[in-house]
Structure formats: C-alpha cells, structure tokens
Structure 1
Amino acid sequence: MMPRDWKESFMKAFGKFPKTQFFMRYGADDLNELKPENVELMKWLPQVDLLHHPKTKILITHGGYNSLQEAINAATPALAIPLLGDQFKNGRIIERHNLGLMLAKSEINEETIASSIHTLLEDDKFRQSITRMRKMIQKKPITPEQNLIKWTEFLAEFKGLDNLKPAGADLDFITFYNVDVYLTFGGVVFGILFGLFLVTRKVPRIICQKLGLCRGGKDKTKKD
C-alpha cells in the first residue's frame, strides 16, 4: 500500500507538467479529487503498447525485470523507484548505463520526483543510451535460437561434457554437507561453554575460601 504522502507527492509533481499527460495504474478511488487534470488513473494499462507509442517519453516503474526489458525494447527512459527484490539491482543498472534515473524510497517527495521527470524529459542522453542498448540487444552476434542449435549439435556429437563436470559433483557425504566443519565448530563452542561452566563453579568457591566465608575456610582458619 502506497503511503499517503507518496501519493500526494506524485500528484503534485505530475501537476507541474501541465503539457504532459500521465497514465497511472491505480486501483483505488482515493486520488480522484487530488489528481490534476493531466493525470489519468486506470486499474489496468497496456504497458507494452503505451511504451511503443511515439509520444511516450518516460516510464516510471518499480524496476522489475520485465519492465526493464520492455523499456529497453521500446527505447523509453525509465525512472526506477525500487521497493524490493531484484528491483534494486535493476535500478542500479538503469542508473549506471544512463537508461534513466533511480530514486530511493527515502528520497521520494514532490521536488525529487518533479526534478527527475524534468531531467528525463529534457536531457536527451538517456534516450540515446537506451536506444543504443536496444540496438546492441537486437544485433547480438548470436541469437538465442542459434545458440541453442549449436549446443544441441555439440552435445549430439560428443555425447556428454565430462571435462566440464565440476569436482564438487563427486564430493562425499561429509564434505558435501560440511559435517567436519560443523563438528569442529561445535567442538570449539562446547569447549568454551564447558570451560566457562567450570570457571563459574570454581571461582566463587575460591573467593569464598579466601574471604573465610565458607565452612571449609573457617575450619582451616581455626586449625591455623
């Protein structure tokens, strides 16, 4: 659930671009009175079709893998606001390769959103970078289909790849499950705890005898 202050920040930021139309996927009705005239709230959007529309300028996304691929395929710069999982990694990819910008959750407010949108709209380097990335993907030397065919033919000819089999595949039970490591660690921990147990039993008795508070200590004092 999006915090109320985030919703207000987005609406106010969108309102600063009256000549730009914003389409936002949103299922609730609590923003109908708050949204500016240039914002359309919809429960579902054909994201791929919108990204490929010639008038689409930017994509505001959480930075999921599919959205990243769709933005690159459409050569549309993105503003990533990651919330969980791989979205943070994808957001850093977007930022590092100038495919767009990234905003952290802690940075979300009216000013940062508006500033990011303005930068993506005005600075053409982001569209140039993402267009270049799309061309690189489209013109890969070997397509996935060709790669699959080549590896299938390779396996059919050599009947296996024993030379590429990792040594870890033949580990014994103890090594594979790190039994020796756990036993060693457990032994060290047990030794430390047992030592502490002995110390806690001996030290109070020694102190007691030194101060003459124990029965044994009193008897010894009388004999002396």
Structure 2
Amino acid sequence: MPLHCVCGIFVFLSVCLISFTPPCDGGNILVFPVDGSHWINMKILLEELHARGHSITVMRASSSWYIPEKSPLYTSITMEMNEGFEDFFEVYLKENMRAQREGASALTFFKLTKDFLSMISIAHSMWTDALTQIFDDEHVVKSLMDAQYDLVLTDPAIAPGVILAKYLKLPLVLNVRWITSGEGHFVIAPSPLSYIPVPGSGLTDKMNFIQRVQNIFFYGIVLFQQKFLVGPSYDAICDKYIEGGCDVISLLQEADIWLFRSDFVFEFPRPTMPNVIYIGGFQCKPAQPLPADLEEFVQSAGEHGVIIMTLGTLVNALPKEVADEIASVFAKMPQKVIWRHKGERPSTIGNNTLIVDWMPQKDLLGHPQTKVFVAHGGTNGVQEAIYHGVPVLGIPLFFDQYDNLLRLQERGAGKIIQLADVNGHSFEEGIHEVLHHDRYRQNMQRLSRLHRDQPMAPMDQAIFWVEYVMRHKGAPHLRTEAYKMPWYSYYCLDVLLLLLTAVTVLLLSTLAIFRFLCCRARRTTKSKQH
C-alpha cells in the first residue's frame, strides 16, 4: 500500500478516536490548605488536579511558612495574619523535647498536654480572626461568589475552609486525617472505645480493662478540646455569618467526600462510612535516580548498604547531647549514613556520615542500598517507608508520631525508642536489631505488597472522587443523616426509655391485678367463714 494511503488511514483513525473521546471539562476548585507538612500532601494532590486541567485557587496566610504566593499550579488569595505563631511553635517543640528528656511523669504529661492545648487554641483563634476579615470584606466575598467555584477542597485540621464552603453553599471535599480535635473517624463513623484507640493514648486495638479506662480518659481530653478550646471560636463565626447557625462538627459531618490519608494496611480495622475514601500513600511513587554525587556516596557503601535519618519538616535538630550520642553510634558502623540535620554539627560525626540540609527521601527509600529508615514517625514518612518496604527505627517526638510508629511496631515492621531513652547504648541496640533481624524487613515488605495490591492507585481514587463531586454537584447520597439526630435519638435512649416505661407499666399493672385478685379472694374467704 502506498505510504500516503497509510498516512491517510492513520489520520482518519486518529480523528475518529478524538471524536469519540468524551469531553473532560476542567473544574474550578477553591482550596483552603493547612501549612507545614500538611501542605506537602495537599500540593501533591493539587499537582495532579492541575495536570488534569482543573483551575485552582489557594487561600493562604501572609505569614505562610511553605505556601508560596505565586505558583504555576494555582492563583492565590492572601489573607493578612499576624506573624509570631511560628516562633511560638518552635518554642513549644524545643520545650516538648526538653521535657521528654527529663523523663516521663504525671507532671510532665500534664504540662505537655497543657502546652499543646494552648498552642492549638492560639492557632484556631488566629484563623478565626482571618476568616472574620474575609467575611467582613465585601470585595473579597463578591470575588469568591463571582468565581463560581465547583467545590471547596480543604484540610479540616483547621476549620475555616469548612465554614467557607458552608457560607458559599459549595460541595465540600476533605483531604483529611486530622480534624480540629483529633482523628477524623471519631466524628463520622461509629467508634467504640473498647477496641478503637484514641490518638495520643499509645494504645492498640487490643486493650485490657485498665487500658480501656485510659482510652476513655484520652477521649475525654479530645471532647474537652473541642467543646471549650476550639468550638467556641468557630461557633461565634457560625452564629454571625451562617444563616441558622452551625457548629464545626456538624459541618464536618455534612462534607460530601472524605479523602482519608490512611489505609487498613497501616490502620487498625474499624467501622467506616461510604463517603470515606482511603488514599493512604497517595503521594508515593517509584523512586527516581539520585543526583550523581549522592548516588556515588550510596554506591560507596558496598554490601553494607545505607541508613537514612530525618526528623521531617518541623524539627531541624535533636537536642545536642542526643545528636552527639547518635552520631557516635553511626561512626562505628560499616554502613554509610545520610542524615538530614540542620542544627549544630555533632562533634562525634564519623567519616561515613553525610550531613545534609535536604534529602530526596522518596528516592532514597526506594534505592536498593537503603537498609533502615531512622525517622520521627510522621504520616508521610511512615507511608513512604511502607510503600518501599524499608523497616523503621522510630524516635517519636510529638503529635501522632508515636501512634504511627506503634502501628508499625505491632506489625513487626519497626521498633520504637522513646526520646527520653535515647543514648548511645539504646540507639546502638535498636539500630542493630532492625538492621540485622530479617523479620523487620520481611514484615515491612509484606506490608508493601499488601499496600500496592489495589484495583486503583490511591492518587487515581482521590482524583476520581474530587471529579465525581464536581460532576454531580455533591454526593449527599453517600452521607449519613445521623448527624442531624439529637444525641439521645442517636443512641436510641428515647426508644429505650419508652420500652422501659412500657415494661414497667406492664409489670406494675400485672402486680396490681394480682394484688386485687388476692385481696378479693381473701375477702370472699372471710365472708364464707362468717
């Protein structure tokens, strides 16, 4: 066949295929993210949404740590906010680590809890002030209305995005693991405290009586936080700007879709709901080649392999004495070490240890030379370690990190050393155990196989459900109406009261009848005797 005929047929078929491809109109998405490590998650999702043709607007604070004002991914709306929280946060982190090093005690626990609740209260107050400024600015409100967004995508660890969606009457998608007070499941799904551990409790799904008491105590702290520290700030805004009023918990329960950054390879099994979509590990991808100098350093380790260590985005360095102890242990090991450390250089550092300000964590975890990941237990790092099958030696510092690492330890894929217990001896024992006991790597690789064995990649799931909400202008059919019920109806206490009343009336009536019959029989007997 002549070449020009072949080309003509190819062009014809291409035109036909294009003609039969369903159109995909880009949506218009308003994003209200949370700063810090939460933004890393949100940005990865925004990159994929942008690549698929969606228009994105991001609301950010003028004092934002990581969210730039200008980006090829989105246009931004900048809110004026007072600076200073970052300094307060750094002071809290340092004080937290210092208190842990002094040793565990009831006094230390209550002090850390008080400081944490105080910090959370300040953060929410700052954001409610910023939201008030938005609602009071007619030009900003008009521009938000005129933009005709299709939905609001927000991280509900802070609640302004949730309230803004209600104000603009837009469908709501949550990129979530944490809400304003604790873990997201607890406000949307049945959560029996007999086997579902409250974050911060340090418990698993197997609890004895004393541990169940402890679990309820920690749940009480969560309720106190929401009722007295977080809720009142947002309630005031709801009462002023939302017709009919509202509260944060009800607004969360009204959300159309929950993109939940976890999965049951990692999480303990528990009840869930149809509008909760699990996207744990959605940020994970196959490893890319390392920069040439880093690849050369990794390969120089030979058969011994490489250990990598990082404490995430929030902590630049451990206390000096801890860093020196860890560095001295690394110096004695045959492995090469890559350590993200931005504080004072440890005096005991060895020639085998490379100190860096930043590392390509995903690519290093996916490198065949990487043997152990020394980490603080942040959600991103734990999920990336699972994806690449690298066992973890964990040093939890604060927030959810101990709970994350506990889940790995329960599955035999990691080991925890508390910061208070870190010294040369304990760290050396821990690193050698994870490095030389094959069960840690085998268990983690089993988790990796389970995590990867899914009908649809977590990122594809996330994008599908965001676009699903845009196509159908919400997903109310997946949402429970239970949140509209008063608490006594939810737990059927009114039904129980009715049944108890009915049974009581029946028993009393039966008793009264028997008494009446007995008394009548006695009177009849006496009258016959006379």
TM-score band, normalised by shorter chain: 0.5 to 0.7
CA contact 2:331–2:348 (8 Å) conserved in 1: no
Amino acid in the other structure paired with 1:21:
K
Deviation, structure 1 residue 160: 4.7
Q: Distance in 2 between matches of 1:133 and 1:40?
A: 29
Q: Percent identity at matched positions? A: 26
CA contact 1:80–1:94 (8 Å) conserved in 2: no
Instruction: Let me know the Cα RMSD of the aligned residues.
Output: 2.8
CA contact 2:320–2:344 (8 Å) conserved in 1: no
Deviation, structure 1 residue 28: 3.3
CA contact 2:414–2:434 (8 Å) conserved in 1: yes
CA contact 2:375–2:393 (8 Å) conserved in 1: yes
Q: Distance in 1 between matches of 2:376 and 2:461?
A: 33
Residue 54 (1) aligns with residue 368 (2) = yes
Q: Distance in 2 between matches of 1:136 and 1:6?
A: 36
Q: Which residue of 2 aligns with 1:24?
A: 339
Q: Which residue of 2 aligns with 1:42?
A: 356
Q: Which residue of 2 aligns with 1:71?
A: 385
Question: What whole-Å deviation, never above 9, does each CA across 1:51-92 have from its counterpart, x for those lacking one?
Answer: 111110000000000000110111100111001011010110
Change (3 A) 1:98 1:164: same
Q: Which residue of 2 aligns with 1:99?
A: 413
Deviation, structure 1 residue 36: 1.0
Pairing of 1:198-217 with structure 2 (within 5 A): none
Q: Which residue of 1 aligns with 2:442?
A: 128
Deviation, structure 1 residue 107: 1.1
Amino acid in the other structure paired with 1:9:
E
Q: Distance in 1 between matches of 2:354 and 2:443?
A: 29
Q: Distance in 1 between matches of 2:461 and 2:380?
A: 23
Amino acid in the other structure paired with 1:10:
I
Question: What whole-Å deviation, never above 9, does each CA across 1:24-53 have from its counterpart, x for those lacking one?
Answer: 00123432x430111111111111111111
Change (3 A) 1:94 1:146: closer
Q: Distance in 1 between matches of 2:332 and 2:440?
A: 21
**Greater per-residue strand proportion:** 2
Match of 2:329 among 7, 10, 13: 13
Q: Distance in 2 between matches of 1:3 and 1:38?
A: 22
Indicate the structure (1 or 2) with the bigger Cα radius of gyration. 1
Deviation, structure 1 residue 138: 1.0
Residue 161 (1) aligns with residue 468 (2) = no
Change (3 A) 1:40 1:143: closer
Amino acid in the other structure paired with 2:385:
A
Question: What whole-Å deviation, never above 9, does each CA across 1:171-219 have from its counterpart, x for those lacking one?
Answer: 49xx9xxxxxxxxxxxxxxxxxxxxxxxxxxxxxxxxxxxxxxxxxxxx
4+ runs of 1 displaced by more than 2 Å?
A: 28-31, 140-149, 159-164
Amino acid in the other structure paired with 2:339:
M
Change (3 A) 1:55 1:41: same
CA contact 1:64–1:90 (8 Å) conserved in 2: yes
Question: What whole-Å deviation, never above 9, does each CA across 1:6-41 have from its counterpart, x for those lacking one?
Answer: 011101111221x1101100123432x430111111
Amino acid in the other structure paired with 1:71:
A
- SS for the counterpart of 2:370 is coil
- Structure 1 residue runs of 5 or longer lacking an equivalent are 176-224
- SS for the counterpart of 1:54 is coil
